[in-house]
Chain A
Amino acid sequence: MTLSQQVLELVGLKPEEYRLACDRLARTPNQVELGMIGALWSEHCGYKSSRPLLRRLPTRAPWVLQGPGENAGAVDVGDGLAVVLKIESHNHPSAVEPFQGAATGVGGIVRDIFTMGARPVALLNSLRFGPLDKPRNRWLLGGVVAGISYYGNCLGIPDVGGEIVFAEPYSENPLVNALCVGVARHEDLVRARASGVGNALLLVGADTGRDGILGASFASAELDARSAERRPAVQVGNPYLEKLLIEACLEALRTGHLVGLQDLGAAGLTSAVAEAAARGGSGAEIDVLRVSRSEAGMTPYEDMLSESQERMLAVVRAGREAEVQAIFRNWDLHSDVIGRVTDNGRLVVREGERVVADLPVALLTEAPTYVRQGVRPAELEALQRLDKRALPHVEPTEALLRLLEAPNIASKRWVYEQYDWMNLTNTLLGPGAADAAVLRLKGTRRAIALCTDGNGRYCYLEPRRGAAIAVAEAARNVSCTGARPLALTNCLNFGNPEKAEVYYQLSEAIAGMAEACAALDIPVVSGNVSLYNETEGRPIYPTPVVGMLGLLEDATRRCGLAFARDGDIVALVGPEGRELGGSEYLATILGRVAGAPPVLDLALEARVQRVVRAAIAAGWLSAAHDCADGGLAVALAECCVAGERGADIDRLAIEGWPDGVLFGETQSRVVVAVRPGDLGALAARCEAERVPFRQLGRVGGDRLRIVPWVDVPVAKLRARYERGLARYL
C-alpha cells in the first residue's frame, strides 16, 4: 500500500511512521483513522522527540499530588489545599494570528486547570518577540497582549506576572507560553479518566466546526512563507463561553456524578477521547452524528479533528446524564451524549450505524519516540570566546540609562495594565512589585508565589548551563518574596529536533534543568514541549521556560523589591563577580551576543536562597531583588525606581573599568535592604551558611549614587525605565 507523499504530509506523518502504523494495526488505516493517527502522533500531541529526554527530569517529592501525565500537575500546599499548575505554548497560531492565537492559548491552559477540578486563580505569560523597531513585531506584540487581555479578563482570572523578552531570532516566530494556576481541596481533584463501562461521554460547550482542523500538525511544522495561508488552522476564542464552562463544570463536579473530565485541545475529540480512555484503561465508542455541529456537511474526519474551542468531555455515571445536563443547561450550555465507555481498549467511531474508525487506544496514545544523536553546534566555541579587555568603554551612567530603557529591562506597565491582575482579591504583590507575584490563599495564613523565567540567549550560548540558570533564577525570584520553591512547570521551546544541533540543544537543556531541579529539590509536575519553532530554516534561541510555584507559610512575611525605608542598609547576598558573557549589557549596549553565560554553582545557589528566605521570615528585610538582566547596577536602579527613593552605594569594590562589576550577570546574587539593627544577624547567618555577604551602602535621598561611577536622580531613572517599552507602542 502506498500513499502519496502529499497525503502523508497533510496529516503530518512520515513514510516510515505510516508503515509503523500499518504494522501495528495489521492493516492499512482508512482516511479517518489516518487523520487521527497523524494528529496524535504529531510532535505536539505525541512528544516523539522529547519523551525519552523528559524522563531525566525529577518529578517526585512528598508534596507532589500529581506529576506529569494528567492535564496539569498538583502540589500539596497545606490546609487540605492543592495548587494545580501547567504552562503551555501557543507559538505557531500566534505567529500568524496573534490576537486569536494568544487568546485561545489562554483558553486552552485554563481548561487544563479546571479539568482537574480546580478553580483557576492566576495566569502568567512568558512571551518572546523580535525587536520592536520592526513594525511586524509591534503588531505581533500588540495583538498577543490584546488577545491575552481579552480572554483572561473576561474569564476573571487575574494575570499576575510573567516576562517578555525581545531578540532577533524570535522575529518571525514569537513565543506565547501561557501558565495557569488553580486551587482545589485535595478531595476535589479529578483525573481525566474514562472509566466504568457504560458511562456516558458527554460533549459540552461549543458546537463543533471546521476551525483549527490539523492544528496539532500545524504546530509541529516549521513556519514558512505559506504559513499565513494556514490562518484557518488557528481557532477562534469565545471567553464568555469558557467562563460558563468553568462555572458549570465546577458545579457539575460537586454532584459527584462525573468520573472524569477532559478538555478538548489539540487534535480535538480524537485526543480527548483517546487520552481519557488510555488513562482509564478502557475503550470508547462514539457516534459523530451525535456531535452538534456549527457547519453543515461535516465529515467524520472533520468531526474527529476539529479544534473548535471551548469544549469539554465529561465522563458521566450511567443514569445520571439528565441531572448533569440540567446543570449545563442552567448555564446556557449545550451538551450531547456522544458515546459510552467500553472495556475493549479500542476507540470506535461510528457515523450512525457505519463504523468509520476502529483503532486500539494504545496505538493512538503511544506515538513512536525518537532518540537522536545531537551534535554540539560548531559555532559555540567561537561565540563563547570573549576578550573582555577588548570591549569598548561606555560611560557607566549612560549605559545604565540605556539598559533601563531597553525593552528587555524597561517597565512592562504598558502590557500589564491591559490585564486584570487584581480579580479574586488575592494579589498581595502584583506586577512590578516583587520578583514573583504573591497571592494569598483565602481561609489560610499562607500565600503562593509565582513567576516565569527563561534566558534564550544563555541557552543559545551554552544550553545546559542556560537551562539550569532558568530553574535557578525562577527559584531565586520566588525565594526573594520569602516563598520556598515547591514545584515547577516547564515549556520547552526549540527548533526542529530533526536537526542534530537543535536536538543537542534540547537534550542539553533538559539535562541542565534536571541538574538544577535535583540540586534545589524542585520537582517538575507538568509541562509542554513546542518544537519546530523555525522560520525559513532558522531556529529560535533554544528557550526553555520555567514556571515556578513557591509557598509562603505566613503571608504577612513577604518581601517586595522596592526600597521602602530610608536609612536601611543595602547589601549583597551572594558572590561578587564581573561575568559579562551572554549579558544584556553586551547585547544591548555593545550589540554582541557572545561569551559563555555566567557560572552556576548550584550548591551555593541553594544556600543563598535559604538565607534570603530565612531573612524575610525573620522580618529583617524591607526589600529583596534578584541580580539578573543588567546586573547589579540595574537591580539597584529597579529597587530605587519601585520605591521612589535613592541609595548611596559607597562600599562596592571596583577595580579598573567597572562594566563587569556594574553590569555583569554573575549568578546566585540578591540585593537586599536590611534594617540597620538586623545587619549583624544577617551577616552572621550568611557566614554560618558560607554565603558571601557585602554591605554596599544605604537607602535614602533622591539619587542613585554608585561611587564613583554613577550619580543620577531617581526621577531620571524612572523616566527612562517607564518610557522604554511605551515609546514603541
Chain B
Amino acid sequence: MRWAVLVFPGTNCDLDCVDVLTRLCGQQVQVVWHRETRLPACDRVVLPGGFSYGDYLRAGALARFSPIMRAVEDFAAQGGLVLGICNGFQILTEAGLLPGALLRNTGLRFRCAWTHLRLENANTPFTHVGRPGQVLRMPINHGEGRYFVTPEQLAELEAHGQVVLRYCAPDGSLDPAANPNGSVAAIAGVCNRAGNVFGLMPHPERCADPELGETDGRLFLDALLHAAPARALVEDATLASGGRAR
C-alpha cells in the first residue's frame, strides 16, 4: 500500500511515522513537503504531530493554508483515508475537515503522559479491527489538546458515531481524573461524518513497536492496512444513524 506522510515546517513526528510504516508495517511511504500542490498516487494520507509553523497564532491555524491542504481536501472528498495525529488532528480541525477545535489544556501546561482510551466506534476504517469498548493504552504529548465542540455539535457527533476515542480509567470507565486536558466529553479522537477522515491526540506511532514495550497503537495502522473501501463502511454508519452526508 502507498502512504503519503505530510511534512509542514515544524512537523516533528514525521520520522517516527515513516519508521513505523516502513520498518514495522513494510509499507511504501512518500514524504510530501507542504508546498506541494498535489499528492503522489497514494492510498492513505497521514498528517503527523509536531509544531507546524511553531503553533504560532493557534496550533494548526497556519498549516491549513499550506498548498498541499487543497490536495488533501480533494483526496478526502473522494473518500480517501486521512489520519491526523496530534498536530495533524489540529490542522484537520482548522481546515474544517474535522469538526470541533483543540484548545489549551485546562492545566495550562504541556503534558507528556500515558493515558487510557476507550474505543467508542469500532466501525470506521481506522478502528474496524478493534472491538467497541476496548481499552487502549497510548501516550499523549500536547499543550493544546482540549477538544471542544458546542453541546449541539456534540449531540450531532454522538448521534453519528463520530466520537471514536475517549480518555478513560484503566478499567474503561469514564472518570474526570482520567481526562488529561479537559476535553469535552473526554473526547480524544473524532472522525468526519463520512468516516474517512480521523484525528486523534494520542500518538499511535509511539506505541506500535514491540521493542519499545507497548503496541496498542498498532490497532489504527492494522485497521488502515486492512480497511475495506471507505465508502462501504461509511454508508453503514450513515445508514445506521440516518444522517446526512457532511
Chain A residues packing against B (C-beta within 8 Å) = 146, 149-150, 153-156, 238-241, 243-244, 330-332, 416-425, 427-428, 440, 442, 555
Q: Which residues of B from 29 to 64 have beta carbons under 8 Å from A?
A: 33, 35, 50-51, 53-56
**Chain A residues with CB under 8 A of B152:** none
14 contacts between A and B (CB under 8 A): A149-B109, A149-B110, A153-B110, A154-B12, A154-B55, A155-B12, A156-B50, A156-B51, A240-B54, A243-B12, A244-B9, A420-B112, A424-B15, A424-B16
**Chain A residues with CB under 8 A of B109:** 146, 149, 417-418
User: Closest CB-CB distance, B47 to chain A, in whole Å?
Assistant: 15
**Chain A residues with CB under 8 A of B12:** 154-156, 243, 423
**Chain A residues with CB under 8 A of B50:** 156
Q: Is B139 an interface residue (CB 8 A)?
A: yes
Q: Are the C-beta atoms of A418 and B206 separated by less than 8 Å? A: no
Instruction: Across the A-B interface, give the 9 residue pairs with the lowest CB-CB distance, nearest first.
Output: A156-B12, A240-B54, A154-B51, A425-B16, A420-B112, A418-B110, A149-B110, A420-B141, A422-B206
**Chain B residues with CB under 8 A of A154:** 10, 12, 51, 54-55
Given contacts A154-B10, A425-B205, contact A417 B113 (CB under 8 A): yes
Select which of A243, A423, A428 is within 8 A of B10 by beta carbon: A243
Of A418, A420, A555, the most chain B CB neighbours within 10 A belong to: A420
Could you tell me the distance between the alpha carbons of A244 and B15 in the complex, rounded to whole angstroms?
A: 15
**Chain B residues with CB under 8 A of A419:** 110, 112
Could you tell me the distance between the alpha carbons of A240 and B20 in the complex, rounded to whole angstroms?
A: 25
User: Closest CB-CB distance, A244 to chain B, in whole Å?
Assistant: 6
Q: Are the C-beta atoms of A422 and B54 separated by less than 8 Å? A: no
Residue of B nearest to A430 (CB): B112
Q: Are the C-beta atoms of A421 and B15 separated by less than 8 Å? A: no
Q: Is B212 an interface residue (CB 8 A)?
A: yes
Residue of B nearest to A238 (CB): B54
Q: Is B171 an interface residue (CB 8 A)?
A: no
Residue of A nearest to B52 (CB): A240
**Chain A residues with CB under 8 A of B51:** 153-154, 156, 239-240, 243
User: Closest CB-CB distance, B221 to chain A, in whole Å?
Assistant: 13
Q: Are the C-beta atoms of A440 and B211 separated by less than 8 Å? A: yes
**Chain A residues with CB under 8 A of B35:** 330
Binary interface profile of B, 1-32, with partner A (CB < 8 Å = 1, else 0)? 00000000110110110011000000000000
Q: Are the C-beta atoms of A156 and B13 separated by less than 8 Å? A: yes
Residue of B nearest to A156 (CB): B12
Q: Is B209 an interface residue (CB 8 A)?
A: yes
Could you tell me the distance between the alpha carbons of A243 and B49 in the complex, rounded to whole angstroms?
A: 14
Q: Is B231 an interface residue (CB 8 A)?
A: no
Known contacts A154-B55, A422-B141; 7 further A-B pairs (Cβ under 8 A): A150-B110, A239-B51, A240-B55, A417-B111, A419-B110, A421-B112, A425-B212
Given contacts A240-B54, A440-B211, contact A425 B113 (CB under 8 A): no
User: Closest CB-CB distance, B58 to chain A, in whole Å?
Assistant: 14
User: Closest CB-CB distance, A248 to chain B, in whole Å?
Assistant: 10
User: Closest CB-CB distance, B242 to chain A, in whole Å?
Assistant: 42
Select which of A243, A244, A423 is within 8 A of B13 by beta carbon: A423
**Chain B residues with CB under 8 A of A332:** 9
Could you tell me the distance between the alpha carbons of A332 and B9 in the complex, rounded to whole angstroms?
A: 8
Select which of B19, B53, B112 is within 8 A of A425 by beta carbon: B19
**Chain A residues with CB under 8 A of B141:** 153, 420, 422-423
**Chain A residues with CB under 8 A of B10:** 154, 240, 243-244
Of A238, A331, A416, A425, the most chain B CB neighbours within 10 A belong to: A425
Q: Assign chain B's interface to a size class.
A: 20 to 34
Q: Are the C-beta atoms of A418 and B112 separated by less than 8 Å? A: yes
Could you tell me the distance between the alpha carbons of A428 and B214 in the complex, rounded to whole angstroms?
A: 11
Chain B residues packing against A (C-beta within 8 Å) = 9-10, 12-13, 15-16, 19-20, 33, 35, 50-51, 53-56, 109-113, 139, 141, 143, 203, 205-206, 209, 211-213
Could you tell me the distance between the alpha carbons of A156 and B14 in the complex, rounded to whole angstroms?
A: 10
Residue of A nearest to B54 (CB): A240
Could you tell me the distance between the alpha carbons of A407 and B53 in the complex, rounded to whole angstroms?
A: 37
User: Closest CB-CB distance, A413 to chain B, in whole Å?
Assistant: 9
Q: Are the C-beta atoms of A422 and B112 separated by less than 8 Å? A: yes
Could you tell me the distance between the alpha carbons of A428 and B143 in the complex, rounded to whole angstroms?
A: 24
Residue of B nearest to A333 (CB): B9
**Chain A residues with CB under 8 A of B19:** 425, 442
Q: Are the C-beta atoms of A239 and B112 separated by less than 8 Å? A: no
**Chain A residues with CB under 8 A of B212:** 425, 427-428
Could you tell me the distance between the alpha carbons of A264 and B11 in the complex, rounded to whole angstroms?
A: 24
User: Closest CB-CB distance, A314 to chain B, in whole Å?
Assistant: 19
**Chain A residues with CB under 8 A of B9:** 240, 243-244, 331-332
Could you tell me the distance between the alpha carbons of A150 and B51 in the complex, rounded to whole angstroms?
A: 10
**Chain B residues with CB under 8 A of A155:** 12
User: Closest CB-CB distance, A325 to chain B, in whole Å?
Assistant: 17
Residue of A nearest to B111 (CB): A417
Could you tell me the distance between the alpha carbons of A440 and B206 in the complex, rounded to whole angstroms?
A: 14
**Chain A residues with CB under 8 A of B203:** 422
Residue of B nearest to A431 (CB): B112
User: Closest CB-CB distance, B231 to chain A, in whole Å?
Assistant: 33
User: Closest CB-CB distance, A238 to chain B, in whole Å?
Assistant: 7
**Chain A residues with CB under 8 A of B54:** 154, 238-241, 243
Could you tell me the distance between the alpha carbons of A330 and B10 in the complex, rounded to whole angstroms?
A: 13
**Chain B residues with CB under 8 A of A238:** 54
Residue of A nearest to B11 (CB): A156
Could you tell me the distance between the alpha carbons of A146 and B209 in the complex, rounded to whole angstroms?
A: 30
User: Closest CB-CB distance, A139 to chain B, in whole Å?
Assistant: 15
Could you tell me the distance between the alpha carbons of A424 and B48 in the complex, rounded to whole angstroms?
A: 12
Select which of B20, B53, B56, B139 is within 8 A of A422 by beta carbon: B139
Could you tell me the distance between the alpha carbons of A420 and B33 in the complex, rounded to whole angstroms?
A: 24
Could you tell me the distance between the alpha carbons of A555 and B209 in the complex, rounded to whole angstroms?
A: 14
**Chain A residues with CB under 8 A of B56:** 240
Of B9, B35, B209, the most chain A CB neighbours within 10 A belong to: B9
User: Closest CB-CB distance, A434 to chain B, in whole Å?
Assistant: 13
Could you tell me the distance between the alpha carbons of A492 and B166 in the complex, rounded to whole angstroms?
A: 48
**Chain A residues with CB under 8 A of B113:** 417
Could you tell me the distance between the alpha carbons of A440 and B54 in the complex, rounded to whole angstroms?
A: 28
**Chain B residues with CB under 8 A of A442:** 19
User: Closest CB-CB distance, A710 to chain B, in whole Å?
Assistant: 30
**Chain A residues with CB under 8 A of B205:** 425
**Chain B residues with CB under 8 A of A421:** 112
User: Closest CB-CB distance, A639 to chain B, in whole Å?
Assistant: 19
User: Closest CB-CB distance, A327 to chain B, in whole Å?
Assistant: 12
User: Closest CB-CB distance, B105 to chain A, in whole Å?
Assistant: 11
Could you tell me the distance between the alpha carbons of A244 and B9 in the complex, rounded to whole angstroms?
A: 7
Given contacts A153-B110, A422-B139, A425-B205, contact A240 B53 (CB under 8 A): yes
